[in-house]
Amino acid sequence: MTATTALPAPPRRVSPGATVSQTMTLAWRSLVQIKHNPWELLDLSIQPIMFLLLFTYVFGGAISGSTGDYLQFALPGLLVQNALFYTLSTAIGLNTDITKGVFDRLRSLPIARTAPLAGRVIADTFKQVWAFALLVGFGMVLGFRLTTGVAGLLGALALLVVVALAMSWMSVLIGLKASSPEKVQMIAFSVMMPLTFTSSALVSPDTFPGWLKAWSDVNPVSHLSDAIRGLMIGGDVASPALVSLLWSAGFVVVFAPLAIRVFRTRL
């Protein structure tokens, strides 16, 4: 006769400390993937530079009369555009993990349900910092002048990361609802493109028709672009930054619970 010892039942709830640890572990997993897929880092590096060169030297002269003047205006907006477009990779990465069964394996582990979602968002936020530094550095090589000093630059980075982190939850929801990575890209671009190109990110809204300017004035991308521009080259900062933070809070309040709910029901 051999005695058997009953194993303790796993806890139904994960403690906050364990949730944070699991989230950071999964965030590190997403970052380590770059080592095995360096093309991801190249894509993150080449696309911002391509947009910078394209808008500066193709459209800059026509819009501002001088590529230098347009670079000074457009670089903060391009930082915003790049940050928002890169949230699409969050959606595509999550959808790919789901369709390949990665989340099925994670579900079998005693981890917090929110850890895979939050881990992906945090990892992509670190990648945002790399893209920001690369774009600003290359812009300075082309002639961009930072007139507010290092404090303004760090403030712009902090605000951009906070807003991008908040808006990532919308991308997370799209990634969870779409049936394939291709549909994720189609849906997300249909949302991000109008938000970006009907804002003050790349051109002055004063040239818009009245109805479009009215939308641009409330567009969250306009407020974020104006705040980043003010932090980097001078101008009003407090009002657009406050509105951007309020929009960020709204995105988190609306989309984070929806994303978590869809994640739990789908998986």
Choice between 34 and 172, residue whose per-residue pLDDT is larger: 172
Closest of 125, 120, 128 to residue 44, by C-alpha: 128
pLDDT tens-digit series, residues 107-152 = 667 777 777 777 877 888 888 888 899 899 999 999 999 999 899 9
Closest of 164, 144, 172 to residue 81, by C-alpha: 164
Residue-range domain boundaries for the chain: 18-266
**Class of residue 32 by CB neighbours under 10 A (exposed 0-12, middle 13-18, buried 19+):** exposed
What distance in Å separates the CA atoms of residue 171 and residue 87, rounded to the nearest whole number? 6
DSSP characters over 233-245: H-S--HHHHHHHH
Return the minimum-mean-pLDDT range out of 11-15, 58-62, 98-102, 228-232. Answer: 11-15
How far, CA to CA in Å, does 102 sit from each of 9, 93, 107?
25, 11, 9
Residue 264, C-beta contacts closer than 8 angstroms, at least 6 positions apart: 113
What distance in Å separates the CA atoms of residue 236 and residue 180, rounded to the nearest whole number? 42
SS3 13: coil
Residue 40: the pLDDT is 67
pLDDT tens-digit series, residues 73-84 = 999 999 999 888
Closest of 225, 176, 187 to residue 203, by C-alpha: 225
DSSP characters over 63-117: HHSSHHHHHHHHHHHHHHHHHHHHHHHHHHHHHHHHHTTHHHHHHTSS--TTHHH
Return left, alpha or beta for 136; rule: phi > 0 is left, psi -120 to 50 is alpha, else beta: alpha
Helix axes 149-177, 238-266, angle to 10 degrees: 30
- 152 and 232 Cβ atoms separated by less than 8 Å: yes
Q: How many helices and strands (H and E) does the chain possess? A: 11, 0
Of these ranges, 19-23, 60-64, 120-124, 134-138, the one predicted with the greatest mean pLDDT is 134-138
pLDDT tens-digit series, residues 188-201 = 788 888 888 899 99
Q: What DSSP element (H or E) covers 232?
A: helix 220-233
